């Protein structure tokens, strides 16, 4: 509780009487964090039951206006979804009470970050990026409204956190070098173990380097000492001898105007060892139908998108898949372009709006996906299971 209160006070300027709301599930880390942190700081918690876009797509903005929310916590995934509804919905409501946004749960990519900052925050409200974990009792990295903020990044470690970015030998890396996010000294609220699974706890966090906590995230500091989280290190793919994080590819895919969300997984491949497969949610299910009129103009030579598509237009799907692969190839090189792109209606997510790549991979390869009780939309798993493999 003390760690939560400290982070909330110094990171989001929450104090006596502040009205704060965080779009999350009470059973996940940010639920208790919100309750402990707000009450210790004397703040007011604004909560509601149900989905943020039901019964109307602007329910969340209406809620913020009605209850004069000052600090709104929101995930990048939810922002991507809200952005597809258009720029006008937030403008229908008086959001002048908002002082800042806050965000956690997954890495940002630029498009939704700028949409929230410009279209909802009118280019004046800071976005307090925050990243940590349940075992931390709060955050490792965070922004602060008193210091400069860069899109998608973090200003500094949280108070009391001795964070660093380490290479494979446990040495600090230089600016703009990717490494493991680690903590080198004890902090308030650190976990002492997993219930009846002490060895798993030690193996998970303490086995890499002596007396150093390795969190399992890829991170980087730029030349100005701003921090960036690049995704889970255990999600990292090695394609044709090159190490790549799914978030890097996903950011390029969602930069396409027709793609709302994307998830990338690795699958076995005889030539590359691992091949990337992307799953994309379109901003509008009618996009493929609209593109079909242009399909004669494409020079698409790919034959790997013969799976069922939301609109039923197979040729338009090929054309869009070709465009997306070309985007990735242009930015990262042809060997790192996804070998396949599938269009789905939704990605499996937890109630905390975190995309579950592990579940996607298991469903796609016909493996046991494990316990799915934490998923908000288990039907998305069934859709992925029904996609045929063309490897």
CATH topology of domain 236-385: GMP Synthetase; Chain A, domain 3 (3.30.300)
Q: Could you give the strand order of the β-sheet that contains 227-232, starting from the edge strand earlier in sequence?
A: 163-166, 179-183, 213-221, 227-232
Residue 184 to residues 156, 188, 222: CA-CA distances in angstroms? 15, 13, 20
Q: Domain residues of the chain, as ranges?
A: 2-231, 236-385
Q: What is the pLDDT of residues 8-18, one digit of tens each?
A: 999 999 999 99
Residue in 58, 107, 110 with CA at minimum distance from that of residue 84: 58
Question: Residue 257 and residue 367: Cα distance in Å, rounded?
Answer: 33
Phi, psi of 371 (to 5 degrees): -70, 120
User: What is the residue-averaged pLDDT of the chain?
Assistant: 87
**Across 319-328, average pLDDT:** 93
**Across 202-221, average pLDDT:** 93
Contact 231, 244 (CB under 8 A): no
Bridge-based pairing state of the strands 19-22 and 71-73:
parallel
Contact 40, 1 (CB under 8 A): yes
pLDDT number for residue 335: 83
Token match 């985007």: residue? 327
Phi, psi of 332 (to 5 degrees): -115, -10
Residue in 333, 384, 317, 328 with CA at minimum distance from that of residue 355: 384
Q: What is the pLDDT of residues 327-368, one digit of tens each?
A: 999 998 888 899 999 999 999 988 767 788 989 999 999 988
pLDDT number for residue 186: 96
Q: Which pTM value belongs to this model?
A: 0.72
Residue 115, classed as helix, strand or coil, is helix
Question: Residue 320 and residue 241: Cα distance in Å, rounded?
Answer: 27
Bridge-based pairing state of the strands 227-232 and 213-221:
antiparallel
Token match 């316990």: residue? 371
Question: Residue 166 and residue 327: Cα distance in Å, rounded?
Answer: 31
Q: What is the assigned CATH class of domain 2-231?
A: alpha beta
Residue in 121, 84, 76 with CA at minimum distance from that of residue 100: 121
Residue in 344, 105, 109 with CA at minimum distance from that of residue 247: 109
Q: Which two tokens stand for residue 194?
A: 């997993």
Cα 281 from chain centroid (whole Å): 15
Q: Which two tokens stand for residue 13?
A: 């300027």
pLDDT exceeds 80 at position 247? yes
């Amino acid at each position: 509780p003390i760690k939560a209160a400290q982070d909330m006070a110094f990171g989001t300027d929450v104090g006596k009487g502040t009205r704060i709301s965080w779009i999350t599930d009470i059973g996940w880390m940010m639920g208790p964090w919100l309750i402990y942190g707000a009450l210790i700081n004397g703040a007011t918690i604004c909560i509601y039951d149900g989905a943020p876009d039901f019964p109307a797509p602007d329910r969340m903005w209406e809620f913020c206006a009605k209850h004069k929310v000052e600090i709104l916590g929101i995930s990048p995934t939810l922002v991507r979804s809200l952005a597809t509804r258009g720029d006008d919905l937030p403008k229908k409501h008086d959001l002048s009470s908002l002082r800042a946004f806050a965000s956690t749960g997954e890495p940002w990519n630029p498009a939704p970050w700028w949409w929230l900052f410009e279209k909802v925050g009118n280019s004046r409200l800071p976005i307090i990026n925050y990243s940590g974990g349940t075992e931390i009792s709060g955050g490792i990295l965070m922004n602060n409204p008193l210091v400069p903020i860069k899109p998608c990044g973090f200003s500094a470690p949280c108070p009391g956190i001795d964070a660093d970015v380490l290479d494979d030998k446990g040495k600090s890396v230089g600016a703009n070098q990717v490494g493991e996010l680690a903590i080198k000294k004890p902090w308030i609220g650190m976990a002492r173990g997993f219930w009846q699974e002490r060895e798993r706890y030690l193996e998970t966090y303490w086995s890499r380097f002596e007396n150093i906590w390795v969190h399992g995230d890829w991170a980087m500091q730029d030349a100005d000492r701003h921090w960036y989280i690049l995704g889970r290190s255990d999600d990292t793919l090695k394609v044709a001898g090159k190490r790549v994080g799914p978030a890097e590819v996903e950011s390029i895919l969602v930069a396409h105007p027709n793609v709302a969300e994307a998830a990338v997984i690795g699958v076995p491949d005889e030539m590359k060892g691992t091949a990337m497969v992307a799953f994309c949610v379109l901003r509008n299910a009618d996009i493929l139908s609209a593109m079909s009129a242009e399909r004669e103009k494409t020079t698409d030579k790919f034959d790997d998108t013969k799976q069922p598509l939301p609109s039923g237009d197979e040729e338009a799907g090929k054309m869009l898949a070709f465009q997306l692969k070309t985007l990735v190839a242009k930015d990262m090189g042809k060997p790192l372009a996804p070998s396949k792109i599938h269009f789905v209606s939704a990605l499996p997510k937890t109630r905390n709006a975190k995309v579950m790549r592990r579940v996607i991979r298991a469903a796609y390869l016909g493996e046991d996906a494990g316990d799915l009780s934490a998923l908000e939309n288990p039907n998305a798993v069934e859709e992925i299971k029904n996609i045929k493999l063309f490897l």
